[in-house]
């Protein structure tokens, strides 16, 4: 099956719109080797009749996604709009990475950015300074949100009904002797993060590990990601975290927010 023949292979469903699938197949039949195609070329590549292919092509011409000189057709730059939302969603790691590098260079500690996916956080950007966890952290690593500083920041950004639904079905595991396992206590900790705008986690995920996280918000004020610093517990007291690390963390979160706003403007 080629990339331009989806309509015969996709199993039909009550919500399946065949005309939309055919229109997308017409767009996808143009590529590096076939930047200009005749009507017959398009009909053959998409397994459509010439009449059907012609209707789709002329519709795309009217919409500005395809241009024609009367005998050949080709895509216009406007088709890039179709991928804009997806590309924008990929901008967070690229935007965050240089800020994490600057932060880690300044404080000499590992820093990361993550997003919330179900009950877990997923790492999307990271600058490791030293390995301080028994589990290696890489891009794509998942950890339970309730036991991580970034997770609690992200949970604090949820609406109340979504947070309650999360807590209701959560399977809480005692990961260390310090892990909060009572639902009421966990909710109180998350609400405290919401009020403070910062989370400090003291060895709840892994013994000997402390981390602090701040929210990354979009232009509407919604929390879309979290940024953190992680450090061995023996290196800083809890008081020192607030004086030596958290101010830089807050600045980094603000800088990432500003760059994201510029990219998505």
| Cα–Cα distance, 46 to 34 (Å, whole number) | 13
pLDDT (0 to 100) of residue 227: 98
CB-based burial label for 13 (10 Å; 0-12, 13-18, 19+): exposed
148-194 pLDDT, tens digit each? 999 999 999 999 999 999 999 999 999 999 999 999 999 999 999 99
Kindly state the tokens that stand for 45.
């590549």
Name the residue with higher pLDDT: 185 or 90.
185
pLDDT (0 to 100) of residue 3: 41
Report phi then psi at 176, rounded to 5. Answer: -140, 175
| Cα–Cα distance, 247 to 82 (Å, whole number) | 40
| Cα–Cα distance, 190 to 44 (Å, whole number) | 58
Name the residue with higher pLDDT: 18 or 177.
177
| Cα–Cα distance, 241 to 246 (Å, whole number) | 6
Range 117-121 average pLDDT: 91
3-state DSSP assignment of residue 136? coil
Given a cut of 60, whether residue 88 has pLDDT beyond it is: no
The DSSP output letter for 35 is S
6: pLDDT confidence band, cut at 50, 70 and 90?
very low
Q: For residue 72, how many other CB atoms are within 10 A of its CB?
A: 14
The pTM of the whole model exceeds 0.75 = no
Specify whether the CB–CB gap between 112 and 144 falls below 8 A. no
Kindly state the tokens that stand for 144.
């339970």
Range 256-261 average pLDDT: 89
């Amino acid at each position: 099956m080629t990339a331009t023949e989806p309509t015969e292979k996709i199993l039909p469903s009550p919500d399946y719109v065949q005309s939309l699938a055919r229109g997308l197949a017409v767009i996808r039949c143009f590529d590096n080797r076939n930047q200009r195609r005749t009507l017959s070329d398009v009909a053959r590549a998409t397994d459509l009749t010439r009449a059907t292919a012609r209707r789709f092509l002329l519709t795309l011409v009217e919409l500005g996604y395809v241009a024609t000189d009367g005998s050949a057709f080709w895509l216009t730059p406007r088709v890039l709009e179709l991928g804009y939302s997806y590309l924008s969603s990929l901008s967070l790691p690229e935007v965050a990475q240089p800020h994490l590098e600057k932060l880690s260079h300044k404080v000499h500690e590992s820093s990361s950015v993550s997003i919330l996916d179900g009950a877990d956080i997923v790492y999307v950007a990271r600058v490791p300074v030293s390995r301080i966890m028994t589990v290696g952290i890489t891009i794509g690593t998942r950890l339970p949100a309730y036991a991580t500083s970034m997770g609690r920041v992200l949970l604090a950004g949820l609406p109340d009904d979504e947070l309650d639904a999360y807590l209701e079905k959560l399977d809480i595991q005692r990961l260390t002797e310090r892990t909060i396992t009572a639902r009421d206590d966990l909710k109180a900790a998350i609400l405290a993060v919401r009020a403070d705008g910062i989370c400090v986690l003291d060895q709840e995920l892994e013994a000997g590990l402390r981390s602090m996280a701040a929210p990354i918000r979009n232009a509407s004020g919604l929390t879309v990601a979290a940024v953190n610093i992680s450090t061995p517990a023996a290196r800083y007291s809890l008081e020192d975290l607030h004086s030596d690390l958290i101010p830089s963390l807050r600045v980094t979160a603000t800088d990432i927010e500003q760059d994201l706003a510029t990219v998505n403007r």
